[in-house]
């Protein structure tokens, strides 16, 4: 069985072990040592949502989730991410036996992968697509760092990983995969990393909501809609309560409102609410399906475990229609 190369090392993050270690240590050190009246890691917080952009962009935000992540009892770690490199319906499993990092290789839990494959519900990630995909890879060095902090320098003691790509799917399909994975979620020795950025705003993403004439409108509505600026099915907030001028909120204010709607829906713990919010707002949350699957799994485990967002950042505060930005958010759930 082959080892998946760290294909984004040297571009999206540093390929030098010492430099990368120093950078990750720096990100984690800037996160407070206590969150929500808990010391970090938060006891029992074995599920996180964290972004997957280049570390110079999303690393400081991702560190909040990783510092909250409780790996002390972990014997395997699931990593769920969206597919950026090919169209995928449903979920797909890695065919690699290891994932390389500048620190060393993390071993894939072949037993669990084979168990999932035998259900007949999963496809395999084409090897080339697996190597090209960043949504899983960007979490492996962060995970290594936290495993090192938890278990020491002997990597043979590190729990294996279960990388899964989560593709397109209806609400019912997400719930089905969530129910399937809930048996693993019930296991207190299993940790979960859910990979997602939030709003991708700009013409390159075909999504440019702005506030105009009392409504939030998308400047890039699909031509099939027959309109130039589609009104999104979301209620504009009371801008004054947000300390924002109601005459002409900045575009980055609109982005924050749309992301807040999505984050509130995640925190509600109701899969159907999150699915509806994303459908109504068209928010370009790239990991909406991995988030949907883990929310469905949490619901299947007697509704235990709700996410708490602890950090929100944007790559740029957009003011002009030709600009762009990507939003990043970090959350944890105690299960």
Q: What percent of the chain has pLDDT over 70?
A: 97
Beta strands of the chain (E only): which ranges? 3-4, 34-35, 38-39, 45-50, 76-82, 91-93, 98-101, 104-107, 122-124, 161-166, 190-195, 200-201, 209-212, 215-218, 230-231, 307-314, 325-334
pLDDT at 103: 98
Give the pLDDT band of residue 205 (cuts 50, 70, 90). Answer: very high
Mean residue pLDDT of the chain comes to 95
Cβ-based neighbour number of residue 234 at 10 Å:
18
Distance of CA 70 to the CA centre of its chain: 17
Characterize the bridge pairing of strands 190-195 and 307-314. unpaired
For 107, list phi and psi in degrees, rounded to 5. Answer: -85, 140
Average pLDDT rounded to a whole number, residues 162-181:
98
pLDDT at 223: 59
pLDDT tens readout for residues 18-57: 999 999 999 999 999 998 888 999 999 999 999 999 999 9
pLDDT tens readout for residues 66-119: 999 999 999 999 999 999 999 999 999 999 999 999 999 999 999 999 999 999
Average pLDDT rounded to a whole number, residues 305-311:
95
Helix 171-185 × helix 271-281 angle, to 10°: 140
pLDDT at 302: 77
Distance CA 182, CA 302 (A): 10
pLDDT at 87: 97
Whole-prediction pTM: 0.96
Q: Is the peptide bond before 70 cis (omega within 30 degrees of 0)?
A: no
Dihedral sign for Cα atoms in the order 115, 118, 120, 126 = positive
Distance CA 113, CA 162 (A): 7
Per-residue tokens: 309: 């967002």
């Amino acid at each position: 069985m082959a080892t998946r190369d760290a294909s984004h090392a040297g571009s999206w993050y540093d390929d030098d072990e010492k430099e990368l270690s120093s950078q990750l240590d720096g990100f984690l050190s800037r996160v407070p040592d206590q969150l929500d009246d808990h010391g970090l890691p938060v006891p029992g917080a074995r599920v996180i949502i964290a972004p997957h952009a280049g570390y110079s962009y999303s690393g400081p935000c991702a560190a909040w989730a990783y510092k909250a992540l409780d790996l002390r009892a972990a014997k395997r770690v699931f990593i769920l991410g969206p597919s950026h490199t090919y169209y995928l319906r449903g979920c797909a499993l890695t065919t690699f036996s290891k994932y390389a990092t500048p620190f060393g290789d993390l071993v894939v839990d072949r037993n669990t992968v084979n168990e999932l494959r035998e259900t007949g519900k999963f496809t395999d990630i084409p090897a080339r697509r697996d190597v090209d995909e960043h949504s899983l890879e960007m979490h492996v060095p962060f995970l290594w760092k936290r495993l090192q902090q938890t278990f020491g320098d002997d990597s043979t003691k590190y729990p294996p990983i279960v990388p899964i790509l989560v593709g397109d799917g209806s609400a019912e399909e997400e719930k089905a995969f969530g129910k399937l994975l809930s048996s693993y979620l019930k296991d207190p020795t299993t940790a979960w990393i859910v990979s997602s950025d939030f709003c991708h705003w700009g013409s390159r993403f075909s999504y440019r909501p702005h506030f105009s004439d009392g409504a939030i409108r998308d400047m890039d509505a699909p031509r099939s809609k027959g309109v130039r600026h589609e009104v999104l099915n979301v209620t504009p907030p009371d801008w004054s309560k947000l300390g924002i001028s109601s005459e002409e909120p900045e575009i980055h204010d609109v982005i924050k409102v749309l992301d807040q709607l999505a984050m509130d829906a995640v925190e509600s713990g109701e899969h159907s609410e999150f699915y509806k919010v994303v459908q109504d707002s068209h928010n370009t949350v790239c990991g909406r399906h991995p988030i949907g699957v883990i929310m469905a799994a949490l619901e299947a485990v007697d509704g235990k475990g709700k996410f708490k967002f602890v950090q929100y950042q944007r790559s740029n505060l957009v003011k002009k229609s030709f600009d762009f930005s990507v939003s990043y958010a970090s959350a944890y759930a105690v299960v």
